[in-house]
Amino acid sequence: MNIRKIEMTSAQIDAIVESPGYEQMKAAYSLALKLFARGENAAANELLELAFQSNYWVSLRLLGRKDAVTFVSEEQHRKRRESTIYVERHLREWEETSGALSWLNSELRKEHRRQNQRLQRLLAKIPKDGPLAWLVKQVMGKVTGRDARC
């Protein structure tokens, strides 16, 4: 697996690993994996959903997906660094757990659908003839996969 390296010093890595955010994210992903391995799928699915919320980048990196976003906020940049560290340290566990990466991929697709449905519900509340109408059509086109050109 080829993880895009993010250059960091040892001190930067230590600071990230010791941060509460990293510990919570690591615990969520690692415990979800352990529950999946024991066959406790309902609990594993719930915990994985929380893991997605804590750091979505980890799932993408575990699956070997490339970064599609070139500009991210400082918060998202921090989460990308955290995900790189987590995957470098824990990828083997995921690869050695039978079916874990397929399960992760399946749950990630479900999460994408949930996010798209939430976005569609929010966009549906915006008036279709107001100043944001064109923008809503563009976003809806991306969410639904339909051509939204006016």
Full-prediction pTM beyond 0.75? no
Residue 88 lies in a domain: yes
* Predicted local confidence at residue 131, as pLDDT: 72
pLDDT of residue 1: 42
Q: Quick check: is 131 in a domain?
A: no
- As a whole number of angstroms, the distance between CA 14 and CA 113 comes to 35
What pLDDT sits at residue 140?
Answer: 64
Q: Is residue 124 part of a domain?
A: no
Number of domains in the chain: 1
Answer for the pair 16, 81: CB distance below 8 angstroms, yes or no.
yes
Residue 48 lies in a domain: yes
**3-class SS of residue 80:** helix
| pLDDT value of position 143 | 54
> Mean pLDDT per segment of 10 residues, for the chain of length 150 residues?
51 65 84 93 91 89 78 80 89 96 95 86 76 70 50
Which pLDDT score is estimated for 27? 85
Kindly state whether residue 117 falls inside one of the protein's structural domains. Answer: no
- Structural domain for 29, as ranges: 10-111
Q: Distance between CA atoms of 2 and 24, rounded to whole angstroms? A: 25
**Residue 122 belongs to some domain of the structure:** no
